[in-house]
Amino acid sequence: MGVGDRDEGFIELDGVEKVFDVRRKAGFLRRERHQVRAVDGIGFTVPRGEMVGYIGPNGAGKSTTIKMLTGILVPSGGRLRVAGIDPSRERTRLARRIGVVFGQRTTLWWDLPLRDSYGLVRRMYRIPDARYRANLERCVDLLDLGALLDVPVRQLSLGQRMRGDIAAALLHDPEVLYLDEPTIGLDVVSKAKVREFLREVNAERGTTVLLTTHDLTDIEQLCKRVMVIDHGRLVYDGGLDGLHAAGESERTLVVDLERELPPIEGVAGARTVKVEGPRQWLAFAAGQSAAPIVAAVAERYPLVDLSVREPDIEAVIAKMYAQRSGM
């Protein structure tokens, strides 16, 4: 069986669960035991070379999923394969083929300068010399690490450290890159650099990327496909546009008329939600084209200017959650 056969289900999960036994102090010497279903039967596949966003509120089970995909945690149930390997059984074998970045903690050595950390990574992964040099040069260049190579990791700022971590995770040319909240706490410039770099890695190297985040701009700028997880279950898996439909999100057409008029009426598929002097706001389904609505308005009203506002994806997801818990 060739490599090609595994490309469609390069990352493959089927009914994966992780249950944590939690004991809590409940008074003197008394312990309450209960179970947290951090991941509660998740299934999805990611083909080779895709860049996927994995989002959800705090405590949804994103990090736990990543930890199972790297072999750090042993799943409580279900089937899980990465490049045909069962991560928790063959963790060290898989480690050569994956790169991992945790936004919350570094995988580098605190007391060493980046350069030494990278040298150690090179030997641990047995990266051939030429390849190591080429990869390092590229990372240093794109992530702007040149001035940081001789600084001990503990002295780096969060953004610098994150860039250093991302470089470390890519020196051995991993086939998959997992990033758990890679932009958390970063300044705007670092965020932009990281995004730019990830896009490049995915496009040029064909590296499969799975990325969890709070920042929906990350997803909008990087991922065509997004998975939403809530309470350990997958509640959405599809394109970004489909997410809007699922969340019943609406776009807004803002029109400036020649003069103040009563609310616009009789435009199919749109309703006026706000009037402020000559300016009016019309909401319509995100999946629908704006063209016929604009045409209908222009036909009957003195139109001066217009703009279309995209829905706030944050609100879309909130709406999805609200729907779910309402059910």
Contact residues: ligand ADP, CB under 6 A: 20, 22, 36, 38, 56, 58-64
SS3 of residue 327 by DSSP: coil
Under rule CB under 8 A, residue 173 binds other proteins = yes
Site string (202-241) toward other proteins, x via CB under 8 A: ---xxx----------------------------------
Residue 84 binding: pick among Mg ion, ligand ADP, other proteins, none (C-beta 5-8 Å cut-off by kind): none
Residues 40-79 that bind Mg ion (CB under 5 A): 63
The residues, any chain, with a CB within 8 Å of residue 155's CB and separated by 6 or more, are none
Q: Considering only CA atoms, which of 5, 26, 30, 102 is closest in space to residue 63?
A: 102
Residue 183 binding: pick among ligand ADP, other proteins, Mg ion, none (C-beta 5-8 Å cut-off by kind): none
Among 15, 77, 79, 93, binds other proteins (CB under 8 A): 93
Residue 72 binding: pick among Mg ion, other proteins, ligand ADP, none (C-beta 5-8 Å cut-off by kind): other proteins
Residue 57 or 278 having the CB closest to ligand ADP: 57
- The half-sphere exposure of 197 on its side-chain side, counting CA atoms within 13 A, is 27
Report the amino acid identity of residue 72.
I
Instruction: Evaluate whether 62 touches 16 at the Cβ level (below 8 Å).
Output: no
Under rule CB under 8 A, residue 63 binds other proteins = yes
Among 46, 51, 100, 229, binds other proteins (CB under 8 A): 100
**What's the per-residue H, E or C state across 35-66?**
EEEEEEEEEEEECCCCEEEEECCCCCCHHHHH
Under rule CB under 8 A, residue 106 binds other proteins = yes
H or E segment at 132?
Answer: helix 129-143
Q: How far is the CB of 125 from Mg ion (least distance, A)?
A: 26
Kindly state the tokens that stand for 149: 């190579």
H or E segment at 212?
Answer: strand 208-213
The whole-angstrom separation of Cα 87 and Cα 91 is: 5
Under rule CB under 8 A, residue 119 binds other proteins = yes
The whole-angstrom separation of Cα 75 and Cα 88 is: 8
By CB under 8 A, name the binding residues for other proteins.
3-4, 7, 20-25, 31, 36, 38, 48-49, 59, 63, 67, 70-74, 91-93, 95-98, 100, 102, 104-107, 111-112, 116, 119-120, 123-126, 131, 172-175, 205-207
By CB under 5 A, name the binding residues for Mg ion.
63
